[in-house]
Structure 1
Amino acid sequence: MVRAPWPVSSLLSLLGSYPEVMLAIACFFVLRLLNQKVQNSKLPLSWPVVGMLPYLITQTHRIHDWCTEILRESGYTFRFQGPWFAGGEVVITCDPANVNHVFNVNFANYPKGEDFGDIFDILGNGIFNADAESWKNQRRMAHSLINHAGFRAFVARASRDKVSRALLPLLQGVAARNGVVDLQEVFMRFTFDSTCSLIFGSDPGSLSPDFPRAPFALAMDDAEEVILTRHIMPKMWWVILRWVGLGTERKFAMAWETIDRSVAEYVSRKREAIASQRHSPGSPKVDDGEEGTDLLTSYLRNQAEAGKRDADFDKFLRDTTLNLMIAGRDTTSSGLAWFFWLVSTNPDVEAKLLEELHGHLSEAAASDPDALVVFDPVELNKMVYLHAALCESLRLYPPVPFERKNPVKAEVLPSGIKVYEWTRVVFSLYAMGRMEGIWGKDYAEFRPERWISEKGKVKYEPSYKFLSFNAGPRTCLGKDVAFTQMKAVAAAMIYNFQFEVVQGHHVAPKVSIILHMENGLKVRVKRRRTAAAALS
């Protein structure tokens, strides 16, 4: 006997009598739909109330690679929906057209703003946080000092001296005992000492064989980690933590105290030194001419000529020197660490660098194969392949992996996405270097040749495509200083030593506003006798 099918009305009546059955069926279809979408796309889904925050939390440990994946999937621009209650709408992009528009074409619509200042409050009213006339005045003053011929000469001399007196002897000691060293730690200490010398005129000597503790440097590290947390965490959460003095914000407050104390000590000592010179005619005098001097001395002398000193100027000195310290120390050390990792894992590039270095070797250095060689700044500026290799490293591993902006007025970006006054626009420099549409099919390769023209000269790439030194009116003032230091370090280290990454050592980006390595860069150091022997 064949049973007649149930009428639709009877079926609906039965389901209506059992709400839990209806709920189960609804959940089944919703979950199946979500699962299908997740399988077909790497893009996160926006959930009610919490938005895409759960996805962000699960990917925080690999935030830069995750951003790269979703930007590649979405066509270079993606709207991230944060929690409804936290105003968390973010537009993430690596589209060069958007970069050019925001950093150049419509620069006035994207100031740093209050939100940026709140997150980076430790920088005070320094050049990184400043807007409008304050920013223009600070940049004008910094530009005149940093681009002064005397200061450029001072940078070149100080970099060469630090390499010959501290860096190379340290590595020679490690090589002599066939030891292992963390190159990232070495570079952090080198740039900390160098930047202190350039800004404050004082070398703290942290690059010593025993690696002495440097509270100022450690406090800067702690502050940077918390600032990255502030970017990810909804603002009201970290504001509450700051108010009650708990968690990461307690750590931040302690770092802030150490930083203020350290800067104040440097400024006080410099004032005493200048006063001592003024009252002691026979004492050695710091020259502002061809030899140059540190930036703090220049700022203090400019202020003395104006005949005025007040609390506002003391605050200005604190904010300015701290901004320059963070810019000078962290970016250069990060760039060097990733450069040496890439060179050590690409022997063909290393061989070409050695060939170029050998071609610019002085007769004095060539006559003594056992001597530790330091290259002259004039010769370093002639090395096209070295410059290209550094640019290629910065393309793949930009020291500042992201930038953020907030529009004053709503508008539509060139990519077609609309941004509002409450939208945070985040630019992923890390992702930009990993897009085939921007750099070609070989985007993932470490290939310095892409930076060399057919005539053998360094090839220019527009800053909105190569954003490592920012773009537009806020282009980094210390770009040339950074290249001077990196070239001095890279040339001397590659010519004199060979570096082999310790087997099994895992290299990955650290979650921070600066692209440091999570586990450092552990290498075994071996002495090279001559470039010619290495090439053979």
Structure 2
Amino acid sequence: MFLELLTFASLLLLPILFFLFKFSSHPNPKTSNLPKSYPIIGTFPSLYKNHHRRLQWFTDLLRSSPSNTFTLHHSFGRHWVVTANPTVVQHILKTNFPNYQKGEASRSTLADLLGDGIFNVDGDNWKFQRQVSSHEFNTKSLRKFVEQVVDTELSDRLIPILSASAANNSVLDFQDILQRFAFDNICRIAFGYDPDYLLPSLPEAKFAVAFDDAVQISSERFGLPHPVWKLKRALGIGSEKRLRAVVSEVREFANTIVREKKRDLSEANALESADLLSRFLSSGHSDEKFVTDIVISFTLAGRDTTSAALTWFFWLLSQNPRVEQEILKEINDTASSESAAGGGYDEVKEMVYTHAALCESMRLYPPVPVDSKQAANDDILPDGTKVKKGMKVTYHVYAMGRMEEIWGEDWAEYRPERWLERGEERGTHKKWKFVGRDTYSYPVFQAGPRICLGKEMAFLQMKRVVSGVLKRFKLVPREREGGDEPELLAYLTGKMKGGLPVTVLERA
């Protein structure tokens, strides 16, 4: 019956759609490169047509705009601002920060998974969580704990799996391996729980699979009109039926961990606060929903961003052997230097070229390709674009990494040296000095008051992985059909379509 009604409704709409296409509105001469806008449905036909390549399509539109900003007429009278202009990004992320919030549309889309966690709230709720989290992230004890977790996972799990693959001449999906590595890491850091996801058998851990499905389905909601996924949720059909089941699994698991942790801390009477959950509970934040929401948010951030960044990094290295050799030389120099004797943190601080190479790979393939805010009130952006209350404003991180105005004519080249300058003499060669870009030209970790709290933790983890893997192994990606470069899939984070199948070779 449902299919019959849908077919009947489609037949009724055909004459209306013909009229709309026949008498479409003409584009403004000043924005002639933008897609045509039609009455009622706006630019939906072009959005739908380019959905499979939307990152590159938006990049092309932004390049053709004089201010690197444009406004799309979406369906039903909605308007949508998209920008790759650093001045505009600074305006929305810092200068007029109170006006650009997550917004109700984004909150409701992610509420089932993230609840009222730090990445899904605004106002006083966000300020409170930010203050609590910022205190914990800035402690030396947490940094030390992160080092221990990463090094243990690296030496006990990741390296042995790569050694076995090299010995057996087998092919590994290195994206999957990195996701498992990151998931074990972040669960131990956030919950104090080890899901054993990166074992030689590569198990299908129930919590990890449920979490992955919950993230993917939640992100797919952004590509649907709100009434569509909300109707599916109300009827309990399709992807929304699956989402309800996996979110229930995730939250039930997280709640169980919280209750067990509270009991353990109460019985111990000595608060050994290592993981984030223990730290929040021992500092007096005992509300189960509060700590569950915030820890799920950190699990999402820590799991997908670092694994996505490393996946693209190792692929880029395979295409740029010169850069790989520079990193290997730095790893060897760092390992033999006296400064490395202080431990893991001191060692990664010396990995300046590697740091630049990671920044450069995230410029081209950012872990979070786009991010959006919603205007709380009317506003005018620095380039003159008018924003009405309730409009969505998106800063396009992927496009910004491909802007000649920001990175120069060689923006398409993978060149870590653009982040470096020669420093003082060290031994027989000059030491590199890292030169960062302002966060509004390079908002890979966001910017302004919401800048990523885990940025230093992420670099620590990534540089330890790069060092541990490269000094033992060479990863050779299998050639893709047609020799094309991998495709970036933009969910909440940017994954590599089809994974990263590699052959692992032991270094002499």
Q: CA deviation at 1:428?
A: 0.9
1:225-266 residue CA offsets vs partner (Å, 9 max, x unmatched):
223322222222222222212223222212211111221222
Structure 2 counterpart of 1:115, one-letter code: A
Q: CA deviation at 1:276?
A: 4.0
Match of residue 403 from structure 1: 371
Identity of aligned residues (%): 38
Once residues 211 and 58 of structure 2 are traced to their aligned partners in structure 1, the CA distance between those partners, rounded to angstroms, is: 26
Count of matched residue pairs: 471
The answer to whether 1:114 aligns with 2:104 is yes
The answer to whether 1:251 aligns with 2:230 is no
Match of residue 330 from structure 1: 304
| Cα contact 2:115–2:293 (8 A) shared by 1 | yes
The answer to whether 1:80 aligns with 2:67 is no
Match of residue 491 from structure 1: 467
Once residues 252 and 95 of structure 1 are traced to their aligned partners in structure 2, the CA distance between those partners, rounded to angstroms, is: 36
Match of residue 383 from structure 1: 351
Kindly report the root-mean-square deviation, in angstroms, between the aligned alpha carbons of the 2 structures.
Answer: 2.4
The answer to whether 1:235 aligns with 2:226 is yes
1:299-340 residue CA offsets vs partner (Å, 9 max, x unmatched):
111128xxxx5xxx1110110110110011111111110111
TM-score by length of 2: 0.88
Match of residue 492 from structure 2: 513
Larger Rg computed on CA atoms: 1
Once residues 376 and 256 of structure 1 are traced to their aligned partners in structure 2, the CA distance between those partners, rounded to angstroms, is: 36
Q: CA deviation at 1:215?
A: 2.3
The answer to whether 1:526 aligns with 2:505 is yes
Q: Provide the secondary structure at the position in 2 that maps to 1:390.
A: helix
Structure 2 counterpart of 1:429, one-letter code: V
1:163-201 residue CA offsets vs partner (Å, 9 max, x unmatched):
111110110000111111011100100000000110111
Once residues 215 and 405 of structure 2 are traced to their aligned partners in structure 1, the CA distance between those partners, rounded to angstroms, is: 32
Once residues 414 and 375 of structure 2 are traced to their aligned partners in structure 1, the CA distance between those partners, rounded to angstroms, is: 35
Structure 2 counterpart of 1:325, one-letter code: T
The answer to whether 1:89 aligns with 2:115 is no
Match of residue 191 from structure 2: 200
**Structure 1 segment 13-412 matched on structure 2, within 5 A:** 43-75=34-66, 76-84=68-76, 87-121=77-111, 122-278=113-269, 287-288=272-273, 293-303=274-284, 313-362=287-336, 376-412=344-380
1:431-467 residue CA offsets vs partner (Å, 9 max, x unmatched):
1101111111111111100111243311021110111
Once residues 131 and 150 of structure 1 are traced to their aligned partners in structure 2, the CA distance between those partners, rounded to angstroms, is: 29
Q: Provide the secondary structure at the position in 2 that maps to 1:102.
A: helix
- Given candidates 447, 467, 471, the residue that maps to 1:471 is 447
Q: Provide the secondary structure at the position in 2 that maps to 1:520.
A: coil
Once residues 465 and 429 of structure 1 are traced to their aligned partners in structure 2, the CA distance between those partners, rounded to angstroms, is: 9
Once residues 99 and 337 of structure 2 are traced to their aligned partners in structure 1, the CA distance between those partners, rounded to angstroms, is: 56
Q: Provide the secondary structure at the position in 1 that maps to 2:371.
A: strand
Once residues 390 and 188 of structure 1 are traced to their aligned partners in structure 2, the CA distance between those partners, rounded to angstroms, is: 17
Structure 1 counterpart of 2:215, one-letter code: E
Structure 2: give runs of 5+ residues left out of the alignment. 1-18, 424-431
Higher strand share: 2
| Cα contact 1:402–1:429 (8 A) shared by 2 | yes
Once residues 250 and 517 of structure 1 are traced to their aligned partners in structure 2, the CA distance between those partners, rounded to angstroms, is: 26
Structure 2 counterpart of 1:419, one-letter code: V
Q: CA deviation at 1:41?
A: 6.5
| Structure 1 range deviating more: 184-193 or 207-216 | 207-216
The answer to whether 1:462 aligns with 2:462 is no
Once residues 480 and 224 of structure 2 are traced to their aligned partners in structure 1, the CA distance between those partners, rounded to angstroms, is: 33
